[in-house]
Amino acid sequence: MSDLEGRVRESEQQRDDLTAECTELYTRLQELLARAGLSCSLGTVKTQVDLFRENLKRFRDQDESYRACLRRVEALRTLEAELESDAKERKSRIQAILDEAGVESPEAFRQGCERRQRLLELREKESSREREFQRLCGNMTLQQWQERLRELECVKEESSEAERVHPTSSAPAPVAGSSLPYLPYRPSVSDAEKEERRVASLLAASREEQARVVERVKQAFHNYREVSEIEEDLVQADRSLQGLERNRKSLEIALQTIQMLSREQQEVLAPQLNLAVQQRFLRLCRGRYVEVKIDLDFNIWVRQAEGAELRKATSISRGTQDQLYLALRFGILDLVAGSDEPCPCLLDEPFAAYDRIRMLEAFQILKEEAGRRQLILFTCREDLREMGEDLGAHVLQLRQP
C-alpha cells in the first residue's frame, strides 16, 4: 500500500506537471493565434490550429510564387537593359550611316527607299510596255511609219502621173540616192494601195493593242492603294488594339476584385457553414464521427471517432455521404435565407441509402427543420410515408389514373 501510495503521489505530481505544461502551451498557442487574428477555445482549438496551418501553407505557397515572380521580373529587367543597349548601339550605327549619306532622319531614308522602289517598279513596267509596243510595231517608231506612208503616197502620185502621160511606157528608173523602190520593180498603184491597206490595218491593230495595254495598266493600278490610306488603316487598327488592351486590363482587374471578394466571403461563410453542418451531421451519424471541417474552398473533411486524421467526404460510404449532404443542404439554407423570410426546401428521395435507424434520426432533423421552413419531400417508399404520418406530416398520395 505504501508503494502504491507513493506511485499515486508520483502520478498526481506528473499529472499536475502535465496540466501546468498544457496550460502554458495552451496560453502560448492562444497568444500565437491572437497574433494571426484568430481566437480559440478548448472546443475549437483543433479547428483553429488546422485553419492556421492551412493558411500558413497557403502563405508559403503564395510567398514562393511571389519570389518566383520577383526573379522573373529581375530577369525581364536584365533582358530589357540588354535590349535597350543593343537598340542604342544599332540606332547609333544607323545614324552614322545616315549622316554619311547626308540623310536627315530614318523616316526620310525610309521614304526615299519607298520612292526609289516605286520608281524602279514604274521603270520596269515602262520598259515592259515599250518592249511590247516594239514587238507590235515591227521595231519601227511612229515617225518611221509616217515617213514610209509619205513615201508610198509619193510613189502612188508618181505612178499615176506616169501612167497618165505615158500609158504604155515602162516604169521610170529609180531616183539616185532614194531608198525606193522596195521591190526590184516600181510598184503599181494597186500594189501601193494594197500595201497601204496592209500598213493601215497593221497600224490599227497596233493602236488597238496599245489601247488594251493602257486599259490593263489602268486596271492594274485601279486596286492599288495609296500609302496614306494604308497608314491610316494602320493607325485605326492600332487604336482598336489599344482599346482592346484597355478592356483586357479592365477585365483582369475586375476578375481579381471578384476573386478577392469571393475569397473574403468564403473566409466569412466557411466557419458559419462548418458549425451549421457539424451540429446536424454529428446527430445523424450517432457518434461514428466526431468532427466536420469545411475549408475555405468548401471542401468537406470528416474525422472518425477512432481515427486521428481527417478524411475527405468522397472517401466515406454512400450512406454517410447522404447524411453529410443532407446536413450541408440545411446549413446552406441557413446562410442563404434569413430567419425573417425562410425559403422552402424540396427533397427528392433523400433517404435512398439510409437504414431505418438513420431514417429515424433524419426524420427528427426534418421535424426540427419543419418548424422553421416548409419542407416538401417526394418519395415512393411506404415506410417513409408511415414515418411522416406518425410525425404529423401532411401526406399527399398521387396515383396513376
Give per-residue pLDDT as tens, 84-124.
988 888 888 888 887 887 878 878 888 888 888 888 888 88
pLDDT in tens, 346-370: 888 888 777 777 788 888 888 888 8
Distance CA 85, CA 88 (A): 5
Calculate helix-pair angle for 189-222, 142-165, nearest 10 degrees. Answer: 160
The pLDDT, as a whole number, for residue 73 is: 92
How confident is the model over 292-312, as pLDDT tens digits?
A: 888 777 788 888 877 667 778
* In the chain, domain spans: 13-77, 267-390
Residue 169 predicted with pLDDT over 50: no
277: number of CA atoms within 13 Å, CB side? 28
Question: What cell was used for 378?
Answer: 417526394
pLDDT digits (tens, 9 = 90+) for 370-399: 888 888 888 888 888 888 888 788 888 887
Beta strand 375-378 with 345-348 is: parallel
As a whole number, mean pLDDT of residues 252-275 equals: 83
Task: Report the amino acid identity of residue 174.
Answer: P
**How far is it, in rounded angstroms, from Cα 401 to Cα 399?**
6
The DSSP element (H or E) to which 154 belongs, if any, is helix 142-165
pLDDT tops 60 at residue 196:
yes
| Rounded distance between C-alpha atoms, residue 148 and residue 154, angstroms | 10
Pick among 2.40.40.20, 3.40.50.920, 3.50.50.60, 3.40.50.300: CATH of 267-390: 3.40.50.300
Task: Please determine, for residue 39, whether its predicted confidence score (pLDDT) is greater than 70.
Answer: no
For residue 221, what are the CA distances in angstroms to 111, 128, 224, 229, 335?
A: 20, 16, 5, 15, 73
DSSP 41: -
